[in-house]
């Protein structure tokens, strides 16, 4: 007996049985921190992964590990989101069988330095703007038209509580995350006549390599950021990303602020 007939007999259904479609998530900056945690979360749910990173060895190691542990298919894209041409070429070259991207997680981003705006390092400022804003916009422009054409899709942007208000020494980083919020809101408006959803996640203190990167490898200074408080983890943010992605199709989780219990805002933290 054919599978469709068995299924119909068991469940009293008249329409033919169809194998569930394998869903695909594309994650930028997927080799560490929140990006890697999101990759692991979606792999646990059986999704196919398109993972982007800048370091070939780390990217391949991440892909091999997730594929081996969860038995999922993984496709890697090696490029820096700051390089618009490289990003466009890599995404355009995605094999046909991988092109139907269901969820895009724009995660690639960073903070550099904690200096005053008028005396800070221009290179740090430029890198943050090119990564957090222009890189996100590049990948969005490459992926979202396909979602609109297919009539389904979801963009999850990783913003920050820093986008809500500036803090001392962080004006440029805060400005880039405020831009992520505005880009998310604007895209949601632009897509309101489609089934494509847009979510902006705004984490507070998350203990990853974020602060090590911000302080240019100064681990001791980075560790001090999380002293006296139990911070969030990348897995905590991945859980929220999964919640948003798995909500019913008529539900759009537009924005979520995620803070540690003893953090009230970007600047108010109770340390013990």
pLDDT tens digits, one per residue of 219-271: 999 999 999 999 999 999 999 999 999 999 999 999 999 999 999 999 999 99
Q: How far apart are CA 154 and CA 150, in angstroms?
A: 12
CA dihedral 145, 28, 97, 194 (to 10 degrees): -30
Rg (CA), the chain: 20
Q: How far apart are CA 207 and CA 34, in angstroms?
A: 10
CB atoms within 10 A of CB 144: 20
What would the mean pLDDT of 97-104 be, rounded to a whole number? 98
Q: Give the per-residue pLDDT at 22.
A: 86
Q: Give the per-residue pLDDT at 16.
A: 42
> Is CATH 3.40.50.720 correct for 23-258?
yes
Q: Which positions ≥6 away from 54 have C-beta within 8 Å?
A: 31, 78, 79, 80
Please tell me whether residue 17 adopts helix, strand or coil conformation.
coil
**112 in Cβ contact with 174 (< 8 Å):** no
pLDDT tens digits, one per residue of 56-72: 999 999 999 999 999 99
Stated pTM of the model = 0.91
Domain ranges (residues) in the chain: 23-258
Active-site residue, from 11, 173, 226, 243: 173
193-214 burial: b if 16+ Cβ within 10 Å, else e: eeebbbbbbbbbbbbbebbeeb
Q: Which positions ≥6 away from 77 have C-beta within 8 Å?
A: 50, 51, 52, 90, 91, 94
173 belongs to the catalytic site? yes
CA dihedral 93, 95, 100, 103 (to 10 degrees): -70
């Amino acid at each position: 007996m054919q599978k469709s007939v068995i299924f119909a007999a068991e469940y009293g259904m008249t329409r033919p049985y169809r194998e569930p479609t394998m869903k695909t998530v594309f994650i930028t900056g997927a080799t560490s921190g929140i990006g890697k945690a999101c990759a692991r979360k979606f792999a646990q749910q059986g999704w196919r992964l398109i993972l982007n990173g800048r370091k070939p060895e780390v990217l391949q190691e991440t892909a091999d590990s997730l594929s081996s542990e969860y038995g999922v298919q993984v496709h890697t894209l090696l490029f820096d989101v700051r390089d618009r041409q490289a990003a466009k070429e890599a995404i355009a070259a995605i094999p046909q069988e991988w092109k139907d991207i269901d969820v895009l997680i724009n995660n690639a981003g960073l903070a550099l330095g904690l200096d005053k705006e008028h005396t800070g390092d221009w290179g740090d400022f430029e890198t943050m703007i090119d990564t957090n804003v222009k890189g996100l916009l590049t990948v969005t422009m490459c992926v979202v038209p396909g979602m609109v054409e297919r009539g389904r899709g979801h963009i999850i942007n990783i913003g920050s509580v820093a986008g809500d208000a500036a803090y001392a020494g962080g004006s440029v980083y805060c400005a880039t995350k405020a831009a992520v919020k505005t880009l998310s809101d604007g895209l949601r408006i632009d897509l309101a006549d489609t089934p494509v959803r847009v979510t902006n996640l705004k984490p507070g203190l998350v203990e990853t390599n974020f602060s090590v990167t911000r302080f240019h490898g100064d681990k001791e200074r980075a560790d001090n950021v999380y002293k006296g408080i139990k911070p969030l983890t990348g897995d905590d943010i991945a859980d929220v990303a999964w919640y948003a992605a798995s909500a019913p199709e008529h539900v759009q989780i537009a924005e979520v602020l995620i803070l540690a219990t003893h953090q009230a805002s970007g600047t108010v933290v109770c340390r013990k």
